[in-house]
Amino acid sequence: MWAQIINAILGIWLMVSAAILGYNDVKIITDNEHIVGPVVASFAIISWWEATRVTRLYNIPLGLWLLLAPWVLGYDNSLATTNSMLVGALVTGLSFVKGKVDGSYGGGWSAVWNADTMHAREARKQPRTDLEN
């Protein structure tokens, strides 16, 4: 989870970095960062919970976009290029960190064909008094 907390902070950093680093007058760069930043932060925060941990993978294309954006959009500011490249590399790398998984949540459709599910084991443990009458 620590990696996704850092990704959330990086997403927030993208939203404010243009103003802090002084290139907020370049509209194409700030528009890109104001769009990608909240999306990165949102996916990172959603992936904090164990059941939605897979959402962290949605940040990989966004991180790769941040790596390519200076050339695709034609950044003319070296500070903005460095910021985009650094944040893109960090977001991409941190998105691969899985985090600790404590439990299993359902199993999806494969649980329908599995005879030894958690619910079936619990049902075998308890006596069947409701159908005896």
* Residue 39 confidence (pLDDT): 97
**Residue 130 pLDDT:** 60
Identify the pLDDT of residue 105: 59
Q: What is the pTM of this model?
A: 0.75
Q: Are 53 and 13 in contact (CB under 8 A)?
A: no
The residues near 53 (Cβ < 8 Å, ≥ 6 apart) are 47, 98, 99, 101
Question: How do the pLDDT tens digits run along the chain, 133 residues long?
Answer: 899 999 999 999 999 999 999 998 889 999 999 999 999 999 999 999 888 889 999 999 999 999 999 999 999 999 999 999 999 999 999 999 987 777 665 666 666 666 666 667 777 777 666 665 5
